[in-house]
Amino acid sequence: MSRINLDPLLTFPDGSHLVISTQCSVGGDFSCALYRAVVEKDDQAAFQVISNHFAASTCLSAQEYAYSYSLRLYPISAETIKKPPYLIWPGPRSLLP
């Protein structure tokens, strides 16, 4: 994960990660999405979308919505899930043109 700007929130027992994507829209609003990421030794990664976008007027508010959602999804890991603020990352690149 050293070559891409990811902010992992949690590492699962299988070695995959719960990561967050925070984006700023043209209108100035912010949104976050949660992904499950499997990162290979050569830094190639596969992403699975866990959530829809959590939108808010501030970056921190959007990240707090995503954090609260991650606590509901993984309550047994609540003490180890990283709390906001997080890095701002544009999300995985689409393979579609």
pLDDT tens digits, one per residue of 6-64:
688 999 999 999 998 888 877 888 888 899 999 888 888 899 999 977 899 988 999 99
Q: Which position has the token pair 């050569």?
A: 42
Whether 33 is covered by a domain: the verdict is yes
Q: How many Å from the N-terminal Cα to the C-terminal Cα in the chain? A: 24
With 0-12 CB in 10 A as exposed, 13-18 as middle and 19+ as buried, what is 73? middle
Task: Tell me how many domains the chain contains.
Answer: 1
Whether 97 is covered by a domain: the verdict is no
User: pTM above the 0.85 mark?
Assistant: no
Whether 62 is covered by a domain: the verdict is yes
Range of the domain at 44: 7-77
Q: E strand or H helix at 48, and its extent?
A: strand 45-49
Whether 82 is covered by a domain: the verdict is no
How many C-beta atoms lie closer than 10 Å to residue 37's C-beta? 19
pLDDT digits (tens, 9 = 90+) for 66-78: 999 999 999 999 9
Closest listed residue to residue 21, CA positions, set 45, 41, 50: 50
